[in-house]
Amino acid sequence: MIGALVRRELRLSLRRGSSIVLPLAFMALFVLLCGLALGGSRPELGPGLLWLAATLSILLGLERLYQPDQSSGALAQLHLAGVGSGSIAAAKAIAFALTTLLPLLLAAPLLALLLGMSGTQIAGTVLSLVVGGPALIAYASVSAALLCAQRGGAVLSVLLSAPLLIPVLIFGVEAAESYPALGLGAVQFRILAGLSLLALALGGPATVAAISANRGPA
């Protein structure tokens, strides 16, 4: 069942290519602007900027996570068809990760070169995004699901998710920065992994509860 839901999501994203291209273009533009504003290559700021770009482009995608299926009544129909909110949440999260986080991960090394980052710095940043990615997705899911029935709820979703994302952002950047010296064994990586697990444990049930509260018409 989750497979069918994921395929539908992926199809919708790929058909409307902009939903994959947009976060990528946004991230590239963000790095470009940062480079210009901060005076050229600033490798020491690289991990922070890339994490910021990844976070912002995920927030950019919040609106299309649940809102279209809420307003078209698909969430209600899935419920009546006996599909649990848990499967919906899992499928949406997987598809969201594949269409936003994965392209960003693939693009991050190229953007890192723009910032003049070294090979180990790039590896550290990409690895920290992989480890912290589940937390980003989990909190994005909750805040998107909470306000999917509200017109223009996306701005408020960003406001709701930002405080939750702060620890992830802090330890993501710390982990990326500690990688060249300490590798994957750095305590920051372990904390980041812990944050991701916690975010899944917390965000999963909360997303399910929010979907159940929101499946009726607005």
Partner 1 sequence: MAGSTLTLRLQDIALSRGGQPLVAGLNVEVSGGEALWLTGANGVGKTTLLLACAGLIAPDDGKIEWEAGGSARTPADVAAYAAHRGPERDGLTLGEELSFWQRVSGDTAALDDRLAGVGLAGRENTPVAGLSAGQRRRLGLACLMAAAKPAWLMDEPLAGLDAEGRALVERCVSEHIRAGGLAVIASHHPVALPGISARKLVLSA
Partner 2 sequence: MLTRFANPQRFIRLASWLAPVLGISAGVALALGIWQSFASPPDAEHGETVRIMYVHVPAAWSAMAAYTGIAVASLISFVWRHPLADIGARSLALPGAAMTALSLVTGSLWGKADWGTYWQWDGRMTSVLILLFIYIGYMAIWQVVDDRKRAARLAAITAMIGWINIPIIKFSVDWWNSLHQDATVSSPGAPGLPPEFLAPLMTMALAYTLLLAWFVMRGMQAEVAAMRRARRPAPVATATIEAI
Distance CA 173, CA 171 (A): 5
Task: Write the CB contacts of 200 (distance below 8 Å, at least 6 apart in sequence).
Answer: 134, 135, 138
Distance CA 79, CA 84 (A): 6
- Count the residues of the shown chain that bind partner 1, applying the rule CB under 8 A: 23
State the minimum distance, in angstroms, from the CB of residue 67 to partner 2. Answer: 14
Say how many CA atoms lie within 13 Å of 91 toward its Cβ: 22
The piece of 14-22, 55-63, 66-74, 140-148 that touches partner 2 (CB under 8 A) is 140-148
Report DSSP state, residue 182.
Answer: H
Residue 211 touching partner 2 (CB under 8 A) = no
CA angle 53, 143, 78 (to 5 degrees): 120
Residues from 25 through 64 that contact partner 1 (CB under 8 A):
none
Residues from 66 through 105 that contact partner 2 (CB under 8 A):
none
Residues from 163 through 182 that contact partner 2 (CB under 8 A):
163-164, 166-167, 170-171, 174
Distance CA 140, CA 128 (A): 18
Token couple for 160:
């709701």
The piece of 35-43, 68-76, 140-148, 163-171 that touches partner 1 (CB under 8 A) is 68-76
Binds 81: which of partner 1, partner 2, none (CB < 5-8 Å by kind): partner 1
* Interface positions with partner 1 (CB under 8 A): 1, 4, 8, 11-12, 15-16, 68-69, 72-74, 76-83, 215-217
